[in-house]
Amino acid sequence: MPKYMYSGNYTKEGAAGLLKDGGKARKEEAMRIVEAMGGSLEAYYWSFGEMDFMMIADIPQAMAVKFSLHVGASGVFNGKLTPLITVEDMDQATSTELPSMSLPGE
Is residue 35, in this structure, part of any structural domain at all? yes
Is residue 16, in this structure, part of any structural domain at all? yes
Residue-by-residue pLDDT tens, the chain, 106 positions? 899 999 988 888 888 989 999 999 999 999 999 999 999 999 999 998 889 999 999 999 999 999 889 888 887 778 899 999 999 999 999 999 999 999 898 7
Is residue 20, in this structure, part of any structural domain at all? yes
Domain harbouring 10, CATH code: 3.30.70
Please give the C-alpha separations between residue 17 and each of 10, 26, 70, 75, 76, in angstroms, as whole numbers.
9, 9, 17, 12, 9
What pLDDT is stored for residue 25 in this prediction? 94
Is residue 102, in this structure, part of any structural domain at all? no
pLDDT tens string 11-22: 888 889 899 999
Range(s) of the domain holding residue 55: 3-87
What pLDDT is stored for residue 72 in this prediction? 83
Q: How many domains are there within the chain?
A: 1
Q: Would you call 89 helix, strand, or coil by DSSP?
A: helix
Is residue 68, in this structure, part of any structural domain at all? yes
